[in-house]
Amino acid sequence: MTIRRFPMVDSTLSMLARGYAWLPGLLRHTGGAPARLRVMGKPAVAIRGPEAARFFYDERHVRRAGALPEPVQATLTGKGAVHTLDGPAHRSRKAMFLSVLADPERVADLVDQVGECWDARAATWADGREVVMFDEAGRAITEAVCRWSGVPLDPADVDGTARDLVSLVDGFGTLGARHWRARRARVRLEKRLARLLSEPAGVAPGSVAALVAGHRDEDGEQLTPQLAAVELLNIIRPTVAVAWYVAFAAHALHRWPDNRARLSGGDPAYAEAFAQEVRRFYPFAPYVGGQAVKDLSWRGEQIPEGALVLLDLYGQHHDEARWDRPYSFDPKRFLDVGIGRDDLIPQGGGDPHTGHRCPGEAVAVGVLRALAVRLARLSYTVPDQDLRIPLNRIPTLPRSGFRITGVRISRERAVPLRSSKV
């Protein structure tokens, strides 16, 4: 067994400065072997690949409880959320999410409602004004997911609610102004949802909100209104985060317009492949972390109990040993080719029923697939703008948010949203 000391120099500043390129750079230096480093004063080991994902998501090896730093809980996930649990407590809470997000009919209904809200907003874009695709996607998805989940939302409140939900995601990877904006947004959203969930008469029977409000944990205790608000946000907020992928899809159609004709034809297989390539090619979550449950060994590398274990997501999706021409955008790589469970992991690896993989992955793919086809059928002009995607910003985005003008609505038939793959 290889025994090496952890470096004395802390890499936290490098992590913040280099963003998505940080772990890939370290693992490139080691030739893909585990990298030993120190982060936030703690020893850490960085690993990558499908086998590493299976190792990382095995609760006998790595635990998430206590691993999520407070700034992430105060913005992205909420305190006391399912992400901070392990073992039976995690599985019991996770079952609530799976009952909603793994139900094909509920997922298809949500995708349908996103499409309806998108179409209604798109009908207003033909007035000649400039439209920011990222912002419009966030508003359409916010309106749809709130309606679908049973959260009342006045039309006048859509813009502000969308801004707050986007802020939760936008602020988790920084300690600057975006972070503090996200903290304030979480306080507002949790207070609002806690008030709703504390009044049973205000929650529609059978709705997602009612399901969360009535959930009982492994110990038989019902969630407090505050904790129920946290978990309802953990259904709504990741759905709104698909706005990032929609902006990336618009970016891909602009840079590689040959995809537009086939995508606009509504071929479900190609729409699926395009959505998966957007999720592989473009950066979203850079890595995930946990703590070693006990003294471990990974490929002969000793990992002491309590050390941080970092799984490199972005690097795995651009690993030349795993993907042909990984820095080329090519949806065809996913046509007629099975995707291994732990090959493509932009929303985490492992089994969503037993581990920490995002249970809303089907929602993300379904919404992205439907809106990508709509984008391909939309006629518009892309004015001069800054379309660079900075890798030192987490989460990143085309700098301009992808602006369009001169929108003309296609008269083609509605996009088929339901699919056996939803």
pLDDT at 421: 39
Mean pLDDT of 385-396: 97
Cα dist from 235 to 4, 40, 324, 384, whole Å: 42, 30, 34, 36
Tens-digit pLDDT profile for residues 84-137: 888 899 889 999 999 999 999 999 999 999 999 999 999 999 888 999 999 999
**Is pLDDT at 341 greater than 90 in this prediction?**
no
Q: Which pLDDT band holds residue 389 (cuts at 50, 70, 90)?
A: very high
Query: CA–CA separation, 109 vs 258, rounded Å?
Result: 31
Query: CA–CA separation, 274 vs 257, rounded Å?
Result: 12
Kindly state the helix (H) or strand (E) to which residue 95 belongs, with its residue range.
Answer: helix 87-101
Q: Which pLDDT band holds residue 267 (cuts at 50, 70, 90)?
A: very high
Tens-digit pLDDT profile for residues 26-83: 999 998 899 999 998 899 999 999 999 999 999 899 997 777 788 899 999 999 999 8
Q: Which pLDDT band holds residue 419 (cuts at 50, 70, 90)?
A: very low
pLDDT at 410: 67
Rg of the chain in Å (alpha carbons) = 21
Name the CATH topology of 12-408.
Answer: Cytochrome p450 (1.10.630)
Q: How many helices (H) and strands (E) does the chain have?
A: 16, 10
Query: CA–CA separation, 319 vs 48, rounded Å?
Result: 9
pLDDT at 20: 96
**Is pLDDT at 215 greater than 80 in this prediction?**
yes
pLDDT at 174: 86
Least confident of 182-191, 237-246, 282-291, 403-412: 403-412
Tens-digit pLDDT profile for residues 282-313: 999 999 999 999 999 998 889 999 999 999 99
pLDDT at 412: 53
Residue from 276, 233, 241, 240 nearest 365 by CA: 276
- Do 160 and 145 contact (CB within 8 A), yes or no? no
Query: In the chain, where are the structural domains located?
Result: 12-408
Whole-number average pLDDT of the chain: 91
pLDDT at 68: 79
Query: CA–CA separation, 399 vs 371, rounded Å?
Result: 21
**Is pLDDT at 258 greater than 90 in this prediction?**
yes
Strand partners, 309: 45, 290
pLDDT at 105: 96
pLDDT at 1: 47
Mean pLDDT of 347-359: 75
pLDDT at 3: 56
Mean pLDDT of 254-259: 97
pLDDT at 294: 95
Q: Which pLDDT band holds residue 422 (cuts at 50, 70, 90)?
A: very low
